[in-house]
Amino acid sequence: MASASLRINIFNLIKIVYFNKSKGEFMKKLIKFMLLFCIIVSLSFAQSQINKGTYKIGGELSYKSYHFGDKEDNYYNFSLTPQFYYFLLKNLSIGISTDYLYSKKESGYGYERIGLAPGIIYNFNYKSVYPFIFVEVGRESIWTIRVNANNNYRKLPYSKVGCGLDIFLLKSVSIEPYVYYKDYASSAQTPYKNIIGTGIRIATFLH
C-alpha cells in the first residue's frame, strides 16, 4: 500500500510542477518538487527509531571565490554552519543551528552575517538511510562594511522548513543532502523575501 500511495503522490506532484509551470519559474518549481517529494518519501517509509538521549553534531564548511572582468568586483565568501541537536524522544530531536558568513570584495566592501535558529527534526528510516524533516525559526544579524562610509547593522527574522536524508557511511557518521525553503519576516530589511536552496552536511550521532 505504501508504494502504491507513493506512486500516486509522485504522479500528482509531477502534474503540479510540469503542467503549471510558467516561463522563468522552472528551477524554482523543480526545487519545490524535490522538497515535496522528499517529504512524501519520508512519510512513506516504515519507521525505525533513533534512541532517546542521542546527540547529533553536524555542520558545513565552505569557501567560494568569484572573479569578474573588473578586479575590484572580485570577492570571496567563507561560511561555517554548525548544528547541535538532542533526541528528546525516539526519532524526535530539538536543538540549534548557527550560521556564520563572511563576504568581502577587493574594493573593500563586505559584510558579516551571524544566524541563530532553534529547530525541531523528525527522522524516519529505510535500511541505512534516514529521511528527515525539519523546522527552524531564527534571526540573522548582518554587519555591512563600507569604505569611507558608515557601517550599518540589520536584524532579519526568518522561518525555515525542509527535508533531507541521513546517509550513514559509518555506524555513527552520515552525510546529509537536504533541500529547504526559507522565508523572511515582512519586517526584515532585505531585498529578497524568500530563498529556496540545497546543501549537504556531515553529521555525527553520539549515544
41: left (phi over 0), alpha (psi -120 to 50) or beta: alpha
* 104-144 confidence digits (pLDDT tens): 877 667 888 899 999 999 998 766 678 899 999 999 888 77
**What would the grid cell of residue 97 be?**
543551528
Beta-bridge partner residues of 144: 111, 152
> What's the pLDDT score for residue 98?
93
**Residue 155: which pLDDT band, with cuts at 50, 70 and 90?**
confident
Tell me the pLDDT band of 2, cut-offs 50, 70 and 90.
Answer: very low
Residue 194, pLDDT > 70, answer yes
* Overall average pLDDT of the 164-190 stretch: 84
Could you give the CA distance from residue 119 to residue 195 in angstroms, rounded to a whole number? Answer: 18
138 close to 108: Cβ distance less than 8 angstroms: no
Burial zone of 9 (CB within 10 Å; 0-12 exposed, 13-18 middle, 19+ buried): middle
> Could you read off the pLDDT of 127-136 as tens digits, one per residue?
667 889 999 9
- 124 Cβ contact partners less than 8 Å away, ≥ 6 residues apart: 42, 43, 45, 47, 48, 91, 130, 131, 132
Strand partners for 17: none
pTM over 0.75: no
Which of the two residues, 7 and 43, has the higher pLDDT score?
Answer: 43
pLDDT digits (tens, 9 = 90+) for 42-93: 454 444 568 889 999 999 988 888 777 666 667 788 899 999 999 999 899 9
> Who contacts 75 (Cβ-Cβ below 8 Å, separation ≥6)?
65, 66, 103, 104, 105, 106, 110
Q: How far is CA 77 from CA 9, 45, 71, 97, 180, in A?
A: 39, 38, 16, 19, 21
